[in-house]
């Protein structure tokens, strides 16, 4: 066996891989992807990649700008604000978000009952409105507790 001109010959009495051949192992990935939101529904559905049905929808990520694109009326700021306000309760958008963020197939997402759509809309509202998600709390120093707005000093 001819040696590679770039690799120095193995020292006498040494066995095993050469230092150049040693590779670092990649860190183990978690088996379960953490969810950013979990919503209980009444009708069980199948999640992509699982043969079992579940009544807990786990969102792997929150809805982002990609989930808003094409769903808002951008004619003027009033219609934009109105469409943003009702967006979490539009069944088509909820189906879209379930397929993109929760790993639910479109066919299964369309099986979600109307009362569960309302529950999902309420749970998704904070992500669209800019409020912290349910269960999270805003830092105390960011909350304005004064009734009259910012204080002004008078001289």
Domain span at residue 88 reads 37-129
Considering only residues 99 and 147, tell me which one the structure prediction assigns the higher pLDDT. 99
pLDDT at 153 over 80: no
81 is a domain residue: yes
Query: How far apart are alpha carbons 132 and 117 in whole angstroms?
Result: 20
Q: Does pLDDT of 31 surpass 70? A: no
pTM: predicted TM-score of the whole model, two decimal places: 0.63
Assess if residue 139 is contained within a domain.
no
- For residue 97, what pLDDT is reported? 96
Asked if the structure places residue 69 within a domain, the reply is yes
Per-residue pLDDT at 148 exceeds 80: no
- Widest CA span of the chain, in angstroms? 91
Give the number of other Cβ atoms within 10 Å of residue 147's Cβ.
5
Residue 32 in domain: no
Please report whether residue 142 resides in a domain. no
Q: 61-113, pLDDT tens digit by residue?
A: 989 888 999 999 999 999 999 999 999 999 999 999 999 999 999 999 999 99
Higher pLDDT, 43 or 154: 43
Distance CA 70, CA 63 (A): 14
The total number of structural domains that make up the chain: 1
Looking at the domain assignment, is residue 46 inside a domain? yes
């Amino acid at each position: 066996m001819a040696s590679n001109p770039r690799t120095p010959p193995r020292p006498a009495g040494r066995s095993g891989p050469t230092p150049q051949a040693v590779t670092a192992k990649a860190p183990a990935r978690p088996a379960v992807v953490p969810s950013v939101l979990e919503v209980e529904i009444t009708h069980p559905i199948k999640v992509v990649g699982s043969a079992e049905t579940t009544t807990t929808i786990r969102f792997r990520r929150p809805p982002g700008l990609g989930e808003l694109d094409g769903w808002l009326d951008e004619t003027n700021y009033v219609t934009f604000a109105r469409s943003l306000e009702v967006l979490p309760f539009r069944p088509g958008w909820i189906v879209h978000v379930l397929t993109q963020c929760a790993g639910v197939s479109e066919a299964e997402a369309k099986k979600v009952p109307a009362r569960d759509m309302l529950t999902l809309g309420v749970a998704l509202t904070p992500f669209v409105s800019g409020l912290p998600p349910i269960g999270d709390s805003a830092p105390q120093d960011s909350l304005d507790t004064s009734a009259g707005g910012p204080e002004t000093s008078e001289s």
